[in-house]
Chains A and B, each alone.
Chain A
Amino acid sequence: MFVEWKFDVIDVSSSAAGPELKDLVPFAMPSQNVGPRKFESRFRSVDRSTFVLDSSLILEMARNATYVGLFGALSKLHALDDEDPAAIDAETFNKANIVLSLLASKAAEPPQIFSHGGDAAVFSWGDSDGVKYITVSGDCAVFARRDRGSKPVTVGVADMSESNAAELLPYVGVIRDGSSTNPIR
């Protein structure tokens, strides 16, 4: 007997994000689709004891596992001796965790991590066109991109002095997810 699970519509087309900034962070989920889309069955019961996971759920699980590793990697950097050039200070560590949490919650493709100068944690995404990166330092997060062969461009700066994650949202991209209609957020 098949039991198909259907969830409500997630409209990802009309986010509150800035139209250019939402392109900054690559999303594993299709964040730029036009029009409403159905979130199809997450899994089906083949019989009463066997479940087959669909590919989107497997991808999501893998992504979540990667994020767990990334939080651990940040902790490693914070735990390094102060003399180590890769170490990050407490404030940067705390704010970097907020940014990473936001990226994870919005299903962004997992970044790679870099740190420098004792006070900077960097999340980056590279592709054949160049690199996009967020530098978190003290109370601000700076979103930038560098196209191959070009000068770097600062896309935006978010003030994190009050741990105001909402200010980051326009830069990270938003999947509109009214809590009452989206069962996976």
Chain B
Amino acid sequence: MTAPAQILSAEEFVARCAINPRFLYPKDKRFSSLYLLDFRKPKGTSTHVTSVGWRKLLPSEDEVHAYGCRSAASSNANKAEPPVPLEGAAHYIGFYEMSVKDGLDEANDVYDVHVEQVIENGEEAHCHIVLSERPDLTKEQQRLKSAKRTDILYGIWEKMTGPFRHVCECDKDYSKELSAIVLPPPGTPDDHSLANES
């Protein structure tokens, strides 16, 4: 029997790892930096989730970095063929931090927000920020669901702190390239001068 998911309290903090190239922004400045949050909708559900690390179990920066490096390594190990570095391979390059309270505060009339522990690959620190639809939405609320999610994502992005950059030991040979990847300060406006260069 599976133990019920542990819900994180508002006082907790979580870290969002930036793993290149899962997000589009650094590769193409026409895309918003919100891709760093990488929310996805698990099949057969009405929820949207993104993975974060629980700072209570990763209290130091080094521990978050080690968690991020393991996440990238796990992603690479799950690929059918060994991925090519700097192309298909996942590289952890740093993290952003947020308080759970800041996430909860973004709940609106369509989506509730919570953070829950979801142990994955033996990582007890692995959690999801979950956006779950409220029950009994009106027709108009149904119509505005996507826009309400956009509201939440901008709110979470604005309240994050960081980035805390890192190059994993296994990526030392690509340190120069990985350090050059843009990790924008959270909540800052997207840089249109960069967008126009693309």
- The answer, yes or no, to whether B150 is at the interface (CB within 8 Å) is yes
Task: Please choose the segment from B28-36, B56-64, B88-96, B122-130 that sits at the chain A interface, where 4 or more of its residues have CB less than 8 A away.
Answer: B28-36
What does the 1/0 interface line of B117-145 toward A look like (CB < 8 Å)?
00000000000000000000000000111
**Shortest CB distance B42–A (Å):** 10
Q: Is B154 an interface residue (CB 8 A)?
A: yes
Total number of residue pairs linking A and B with CB closer than 8 Å? 103
Considering the complex, which residues of chain A in the window 106-164 have a beta carbon less than 8 Å from any beta carbon of chain B? 109-110, 112-114, 116-120, 122, 124-128, 131, 133, 135, 137-138, 140, 142, 144, 146, 148-149, 152, 154, 157
B65 to chain A, nearest CB (A): 24
Query: Is A117 in contact with B149, judged by CB distance below 8 angstroms?
Result: yes
List, in ascending order, chain A residues with CB within 8 A of B195's CB. Answer: 66, 110, 112
- Among A85, A122, A133, A146, the residue within 8 A (CB) of B40 is A85
Q: Chain A's nearest CB lies how many Å from the CB of B8?
A: 22
CA distance A126 to B48 in the complex (A): 24
Nearest residue (CB) in B for A63 is B196
Cα distance, A154 to B149, chains bound together (Å)? 12
Distance, CA A138 to CA B192, complexed state (A): 27
Q: Is the CB of B150 within 8 A of A86?
A: no
Per the bound structure, the CA–CA distance linking A106 and B40 in Å amounts to 33
B146 touches A133 (CB 8 A): no
Measured CA separation A149–B151 after assembly (Å)? 13
Q: How far is the CA of A30 from the CA of B144 in the complex (A)?
A: 32
CB distance from A74 to the nearest CB of B (A): 9
Q: Which of B24, B38, B151 contacts A144 (CB 8 A)?
A: B151
Q: With an 8 A cutoff between CB atoms, is B188 at the interface?
A: yes
Partner of B190, one of A126, A149, A157: A126
Q: Does A46 contact B (CB under 8 A)?
A: no
Are the CB atoms of A112 and B32 closer together than 8 Å? yes
Q: Which of B28, B30, B48, B188 contacts A116 (CB 8 A)?
A: B48
User: Per a CB cutoff under 8 Å, which of B28, B39, B189 touches A131?
Assistant: B189
B153 within 8 A of A: yes
* Interface range for B: 20 to 34
Q: A120, A126, A148, A157: which has the most chain B beta carbons within 10 Å?
A: A126
A62-B196, A131-B154 known; A117 and B32 CB under 8 Å?
A: no
A146–B154 touching, CB < 8 Å: yes
By a CB distance below 8 angstroms, the chain B residues around A118 are 41
Asked if A69 CB lies within 8 Å of chain B CBs, one says yes
How far is B188's CA from A174's CA once the two chains are assembled, in angstroms? 28
Complex-state Cα separation, A125 to B143, whole angstroms:
23
- For window 1-52 of B, CB contacts with A under 8 Å fall at 24, 28-32, 34-35, 38-41, 48
Please indicate the chain A residues that have their CB under 8 angstroms from the CB of B31 in the complex.
73, 112-114
Complex alpha-carbon distance, A53 and B169, angstroms: 52
Hey, which chain A residues are within 8 Å of B147, CB to CB?
120, 135, 137, 140, 142, 144, 154
Residues of A within 8 A of B (CB): 62, 66, 69-70, 73, 85-86, 109-110, 112-114, 116-120, 122, 124-128, 131, 133, 135, 137-138, 140, 142, 144, 146, 148-149, 152, 154, 157
Offer 6 A-B interface pairs, CB within 8 angstroms, sorted by A: A73-B31, A85-B40, A112-B195, A116-B153, A146-B155, A148-B158
Interface on B for A, CB 8 Å cutoff?
A: 24, 28-32, 34-35, 38-41, 48, 143-147, 149-151, 153-155, 158, 187-190, 192, 195-196, 198
